[in-house]
Amino acid sequence: MISVIVPVYKVEKYLRQCLDSLAAQTLDDMEVIIVDDGSPDGCPAICDEYAAKDARMKVVHKENGGLLSARKAGLAASKGDYIGFVDGDDWVEPDTFLNMYKAVCEYSPDMVLSDFLCDYGDRAEPSGQCFEDRFYNHDRLEKEIFPRMLFDGRFYSFGVNPNCWSKLVRRELIEKNLLPVDERIRMGEDAAFIYPCLLDSQSIACIKTPTYHYRITGQSMSTAYDEKLKDIILLPYKRLKEKNAASDFDISAQLDYYLLYMVNFLLRNEAKKANFHSKQERRKVIENICADEDIRSAAAAVDMGNLPAHTKLLASALRRGSSFMTGKYVEFMRAYLGGK
């Protein structure tokens, strides 16, 4: 059986479309675990309404604890041999999980990966990941998937997107790699357990036809300043670094690019006009970044030819440990984003 976990928090506007699409699934041998993560709107009532109409659905109501907490609660309530996820503001085509279930029955893989659609409302575009419509044994994984799953040579583009939705994962792998993840993580939370699941996989089946709709709205990229981001931004990287140390396949070169990507995201957060901290406080964040040995090492290791012009400037500053040059980069970004 397949268990599909749906974390729900403040998605009332889109939740019915999501749950309608799950109720329309042509696969019978599945359950849908809807996790109301303490949503303060009408979501809890909508969840209960759908569970009352479809025997495949059940609801878990819990206090708000964040996305990882909700996924873990859904896992605890699930019974499936394979675990999938759908975000509460996305939706899926009727045969999405039937197609993935067929791949499970045919190949018995550790994971099933399906391409997805970036849905902008007026158009939908396939994500264009690196895998083909086929079965990958472990030899093919090491030759064709692992070498570019975190970084496909373009900054920044994943070979295999780290999202947990549009995938099925064998239960044992999810339990091994999701449960230890720090629940404070709010960016890179999928990467912190999906890439470890991939590294632990002996085989995967891939479906190139996209049937999962990932909703992209004007609110998808927040302009708000995240006060806590500087304290948690590197947690996914540290999790992956630990996993890499215990893995037979070395992804350290990819992790260098991933770390630079995360640092760039952190500096963009510091540059936002909604950041009202003083220049001295912002400088302290920059000094801490420049003093980090992992960050300096990653900046020194990446191939500048793989970076866009502005990221080359950042990498050059970081490999020197120059808080002055990094500060100038943040000032430029702040002016670009409309701050002072």
Rg, the chain, Cα only: 21
Q: What is the pLDDT of residues 261-313, one digit of tens each?
A: 999 999 999 999 888 888 899 899 999 999 999 999 999 999 999 999 999 99
Helices (H), 109-208: 138-140, 171-178, 191-200
Angstrom distance (rounded) from CA 209 to CA 52: 32
Angstrom distance (rounded) from CA 132 to CA 48: 39
pLDDT of residue 340: 53
Residue 141: CB atoms within 10 A of its CB come to 22
Angstrom distance (rounded) from CA 31 to CA 19: 12
Q: How far is residue 266 from each of residues 17, 272, 286, 294, measured CA to CA in Å?
A: 33, 10, 10, 15
Given a cut of 80, is residue 338 above it in pLDDT?
Answer: no
Angstrom distance (rounded) from CA 207 to CA 132: 7
What's the whole-number average pLDDT of the chain? 95
Q: What is the pLDDT of residues 15-74, one digit of tens each?
A: 999 999 999 999 999 999 999 999 999 999 999 999 999 999 999 999 999 999 999 999
pLDDT of residue 270: 92
Q: Residue 286: which H helix or E strand, with range?
A: helix 279-291
Percent of the chain with pLDDT over 90: 88
Tokens of 258: 């991933």
pLDDT of residue 3: 99
Q: What is the pLDDT of residues 222-238, one digit of tens each?
A: 668 888 899 999 999 99
Angstrom distance (rounded) from CA 143 to CA 199: 13
pLDDT of residue 335: 86
Return the higher-pLDDT residue of 130 and 45.
45
Structural contact between residues 57 and 50, judged by C-beta atoms closer than 8 angstroms: yes
> What's the DSSP call for residue 189?
T
Percent of the chain with pLDDT over 70: 97
Strand 30-37 vs strand 57-62: parallel, antiparallel, or unpaired? parallel
- Dihedral sign, Cα of residue 205, residue 206, residue 207, residue 213: positive
Burial 70-93 (b: 16+ CB within 10 A, else e): bbbbbbebbebebbbbbbbbbbbb
Given a cut of 90, is residue 220 above it in pLDDT?
Answer: no
Centroid of chain to Cα 217: 17
End-to-end CA distance of the chain: 55
Q: What is the pLDDT of residues 79-96, one digit of tens each?
A: 999 999 999 999 999 999
| Phi, psi (rounded to 5 degrees) for 169 | -130, 135
pLDDT of residue 51: 98
Structural contact between residues 60 and 77, judged by C-beta atoms closer than 8 angstroms: yes
- Dihedral sign, Cα of residue 257, residue 259, residue 260, residue 265: positive
pLDDT of residue 279: 86
Its pTM stands at 0.94
Q: Which of 12-21, 100-109, 325-334 has the lowest mean pLDDT?
A: 325-334
